[in-house]
């Protein structure tokens, strides 16, 4: 039998690593859900049972979010490089995403809004670009403390289209900014529940659309600003 080419072996190894990492990431929330359901069964009064069921619901939401992100990444891995390309108005897209996430922002006591900008159009897959911006806004809302602010802005800078999401959260240390795009990476100081896939998905979609991503402080020493650029 012919030997398997090294390139194919590398692909198989990468898929195996991804499956192993995904299984590891799923184990924690699923174990928590199982333990919380057992605690709910053992609860001796209504108050204890209600508290346990609230924690169970939160655990199910975390597991569901992780599964959804895994499915998105799997679809991106399997999709053709180009996908469905058509003109996408980034300003309209930003308005749609903000409306979708507004109830979540309100529930968390956050100010989510659209800064003044321009109606800029880029060529791309509307669904993928919606996922890109949705993940950026979702990340910003997750890490910004109550009373904070998340801003989305669409701009034209010369021949470049720019999509920016800024927040007043803790930011990301400069030493970790290259690694946050790795699948399942979560900084040592991160305590907010998450999948570790949000920014990896953003990077993958940006690459498929020949866009670049830059992370910087939103304000001196605080917050995070994510800038996605399409060259003209």
Tell me the C-alpha distance between 147 and 164, whole Å.
Answer: 20
pLDDT score of 27: 67
Residue 51 φ/ψ, nearest 5 degrees: -65, -45
Token pair listed for 60: 């199910």
pLDDT score of 82: 61
Say if CB 109 and CB 180 are below 8 A apart.
no
**3 burial level (CB within 10 Å; 0-12, 13-18, 19+):** exposed
**Number of Cβ within a 10 Å radius of residue 65:** 18
Tell me the C-alpha distance between 228 and 211, whole Å.
Answer: 6
Which residue is associated with the tokens 């995904």?
22
Tell me the C-alpha distance between 76 and 82, whole Å.
Answer: 11
Token pair listed for 192: 């907010």
| Low-confidence residues in the chain, pLDDT < 50 | 1-5, 7-14
- The strand pairing partners of 156, in sequence order, are 161
pLDDT score of 93: 96
The predicted model scores a pTM of 0.73
Tell me the C-alpha distance between 12 and 16, whole Å.
Answer: 6
Q: Reading across the β-sheet that carries 111-114, which strands appear in turn? A: 111-114, 149-157, 160-167, 224-230, 211-216
Closest residue by Cα to residue 205 from 101, 140, 143, 126: 126
- 3-class SS at 135? helix
pLDDT score of 186: 62
Token pair listed for 112: 């989510």
Say if CB 123 and CB 91 are below 8 A apart.
no
pLDDT score of 14: 46
pLDDT score of 54: 77
Pairing of strands 149-157, 111-114: parallel
Helix H or strand E encompassing 86: strand 86-89
pLDDT score of 230: 95
Q: Which residues contact 183 (CB under 8 A, 6 or more apart)?
A: 18, 21, 73, 196, 197, 200
């Amino acid at each position: 039998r012919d030997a398997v080419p090294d390139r194919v072996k590398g692909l198989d190894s990468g898929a195996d690593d991804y499956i192993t990492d995904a299984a590891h990431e799923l184990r924690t929330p699923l174990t928590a859900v199982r333990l919380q359901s057992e605690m709910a069964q053992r609860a001796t009064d209504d108050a204890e049972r209600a508290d346990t069921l609230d924690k169970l619901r939160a655990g199910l939401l975390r597991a569901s979010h992780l599964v959804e992100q895994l499915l998105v990444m799997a679809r991106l891995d399997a999709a053709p490089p180009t996908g469905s390309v058509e003109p996408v108005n980034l300003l309209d897209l930003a308005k749609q995403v903000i409306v979708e996430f507004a109830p979540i922002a309100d529930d968390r006591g956050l100010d989510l809004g659209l800064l003044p900008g321009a109606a800029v159009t880029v060529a791309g897959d509307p669904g993928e670009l919606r996922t890109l911006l949705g993940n950026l806004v979702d990340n910003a809302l997750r890490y910004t403390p109550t009373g904070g602010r998340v801003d989305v802005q669409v701009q034209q800078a010369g021949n470049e289209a720019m999509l920016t999401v800024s927040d007043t959260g803790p930011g990301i240390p400069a030493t970790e900014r290259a690694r946050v795009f790795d699948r399942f990476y979560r900084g040592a100081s991160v305590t907010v529940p998450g999948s570790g896939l949000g920014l990896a998905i953003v990077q993958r979609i940006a690459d498929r659309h020949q866009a670049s991503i830059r992370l910087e402080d939103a304000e001196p020493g605080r917050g995070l600003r994510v800038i996605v650029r399409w060259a003209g």
